[in-house]
């Protein structure tokens, strides 16, 4: 199975290990300007609106929409992707041979 995604976020490992986390959003979930339909800009100075935005962003980051792939720095540098790039993720089932 192959699916097309758009890179929406790249972040360093929070524990300082040599990994990056690449967040992918399905290309059909992106609008015509290339921005995710599920992400928004933080609201103005209204404290209630800011709290809603923070909750929404945390939900997206820790279990909301999107697929996150962890890769080591060598893989990340080899691929050379950046936010906004379109990528294809391919999943294949591996059949193990019994001996």
pLDDT of amino acid 70: 93
pLDDT of amino acid 42: 46
Domains identified in the chain and CATH numbers: 2-90 (2.40.50)
pLDDT of amino acid 80: 94
30 DSSP 8-state letter: B
Predicted confidence (pLDDT) at residue 43 exceeds the cutoff of 50? no
d(CA 52, CA 69): 26
**For residue range 45-76, what is the model confidence (pLDDT) as tens digits?**
666 666 666 655 665 555 556 788 999 999 99
Q: What is the DSSP string of 35-67?
A: -BTT------S-HHHHHHHHHHHHHHHTTSSSE
5 contact partners, CB below 8 Å, separation of at least 6: 24, 25, 26, 27, 67, 86, 87, 88, 89
Q: Supply the pTM of this predicted model.
A: 0.61
Q: What percent of the chain has pLDDT over 70?
A: 62
């Amino acid at each position: 199975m192959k699916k097309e995604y758009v890179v929406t976020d790249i972040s360093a490992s929070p524990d300082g290990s040599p990994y990056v986390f690449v967040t992918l959003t399905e290309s059909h979930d992106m609008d015509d300007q290339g921005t995710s339909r599920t992400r928004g800009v933080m609201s103005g100075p209204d404290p209630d609106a800011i709290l809603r935005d923070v909750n929404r962003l945390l939900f997206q980051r820790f279990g909301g929409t999107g697929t996150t792939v962890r890769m080591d720095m060598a893989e990340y540098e080899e691929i050379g992707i950046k936010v906004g790039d379109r990528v294809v993720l391919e999943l294949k089932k591996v059949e193990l041979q019994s001996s």
